[in-house]
Amino acid sequence: MNFETIELRIEEHVATLTLSREESKNALNLKMCLELTQACHMLNDNAQVHVVKINARGNVFCAGADLKERPHMNEQEIVARRVAGFTAYASIEALQMPVICVVQGAAFGSGCEIAAASDWIIASHVAKFKYPEVGWGTVGATQRLPRIVGRRMAKELLFTSRTFDAQEAQALGLVNHLYDADDLEPQANALAKHISQCNPLTVRLTKKCIDQGLETTREGAMAVELLAIQENLQKTDWKAAISKFSGNSKS
């Protein structure tokens, strides 16, 4: 499928999804919402994709929602546009395989939501983040952010709409690792390649256990993991994997 606002490349079990509206600082418009959702559905149906990497063209990861769309929209159209954005974020979150977000520059508003919908974020030292919704007089980013940084810090970041740098984002747990700008993409590629070589079903089941387990009780989480263990035993060559591991441990 040919896209207008994003690029999708699949190579050696790694899918790279690139935000590609560089002239608009990769601002999220309706077309990009729809194309992100379409791309994620395609990736979930592709058993050859073991890892997804999300990055962006240019010096800005995503400047947020494309506000140029808004002046001519009525209330119903604004709601429909917000729903399309929510659907895009949810589609990223629903990907069965690990999703690595590579933030090379500013990630504001919708850019933060795209990144937070991924499984983890690696960023350059010059990246910066901002949740401007309250300052714009709207409501948003109230669900993923508190689950990552906690209730009190989420309220501060949302109520103040302040910009915070990559170092603070890492300290808050929003970003996993920081790299120099020149090293960011090579590090992302190496990480994606490493994960892509693991058994894809085992990786998907592990992601499922973590995500579902955190949303239920400890007992419920144990049941989720036991079911995943059983499926993994039935559908993977676990004996060969253990034999290989045992052989390596003896050497």
Q: Which ranges in 173-237 belong to alpha helices (H)?
A: 181-196, 200-213, 218-235
User: 22, 69, 133, 215: which one is catalytic?
Assistant: 133
Q: Is 113 a catalytic residue?
A: yes
Strands of the sheet containing 128-130, edge to edge, are 60-62, 106-108, 128-130, 163-165
Token output for 64: 């947020």
127 and 168 in contact (C-beta within 8 Å)? no
- Residue 87: both structure tokens together: 């659907």
Q: Would you give the DSSP letter of residue 122?
A: E
**240-244, Cβ contacts within 8 angstroms, sequence gap of 24 or more:** 241/199
Q: State the catalytic residue, choosing from 7, 93, 113, 231.
A: 113
Residue 152 burial (C-beta neighbours within 10 Å; 0-12, 13-18, 19+): exposed
| Residues forming the active site | 113, 133
